[in-house]
Amino acid sequence: MEAVISIKNLDHYFGKGQLRKQVLFDINLEINAGEIIIMTGPSGSGKTTLLTLVGGLRSAQSGSLRILGQELCGASPAKLAQARRSHGYIFQAHNLHASLTALQNVRMGLELHRGISVKEMTSRSTEILELVGLSDHINYYPDDLSGGQKQRVAIARALVSHPKIVLADEPTAALDSKSGRDVVNLMQKLAKEQHCTILLVTHDNRILDIADRIVYMEDGKLGNAAPKNLAKPH
């Protein structure tokens, strides 16, 4: 069976002409269905860039990037838009809409998908908010939720459509260690239940144990061997 995410010899450049700068160098990575991969590495090393390429949020320029059997390198904007529908994306900042309630924010995760009635969107969104422990906060606006609660809304939004792939960029960055732990436990549980693949970027050593595999990005190059100080905690 083909890997869910298959990256071969991927390079990436930002800028044009004299300002052109290479930020990813010969990236190779295979991820199978149901695997949880954590990516760590210093600030500016290229982690978010790689995640946005995998997510179809920017177009891959050179090499091969196959997601669910589709080549995204050189793909048309329409094909990238199609690919984005199979992903749940949790951003570095939670990116909730301040003018929408928790329920309306989560429902947006379904609105790209055709053939789901408003009634069903609402019931599925309500259900997943209950699952993430927010049944009492369904009609709250983001400003009235704590950081951990907002992050849980963002996770619910990413998972409500049962995506095959979840891409999470520092989902615990703004959280204390207890809320951070709750959030990753929840992602792990939902991932195993929905059998989706997770690629998660983090600087947070305390959550490395949820990974099936840890990869390390440095200066735009990806390695399998994590440095010793990132060894799995007991």
Ligand X SMILES: Nc1ncnc2c1ncn2[C@@H]1O[C@H](COP(=O)(O)OP(=O)(O)OP(=O)(O)O)[C@@H](O)[C@H]1O
Instruction: Select the residue interacting with ligand X from 40, 46, 83, 197 (CB under 6 A).
Output: 46
Single residue of 47, 137, 157, 164 touching ligand X by CB under 6 A: 47
Which member of 44, 74, 223, 227 binds ligand X (CB under 6 A)?
44
Contacts to ligand X from residues 2-21, by CB under 6 A: 14-15
Q: How far apart are CA 227 and CA 61, in angstroms?
A: 30
Nearest C-alpha neighbor of 109 from the set 132, 125, 93: 125
Identified binder of ligand X from the candidate list 6, 49, 105, 126, rule CB under 6 A: 49
Residue 166: count of CB within 10 angstroms of its CB: 24
Contact between 23 and ligand X by CB under 6 A: the answer reads yes
- The answer to whether 80 and 59 have CB atoms below 8 angstroms apart is yes
Question: Taking CB under 5 A as the rule, which mask of x and - marks residues 20-59 in contact with Mg ion?
Answer: ----------------------------x-----------
Residue nearer to Mg ion on the CB measure, 48 or 125: 48
Return residues touching Mg ion (CB under 5 A). Answer: 48
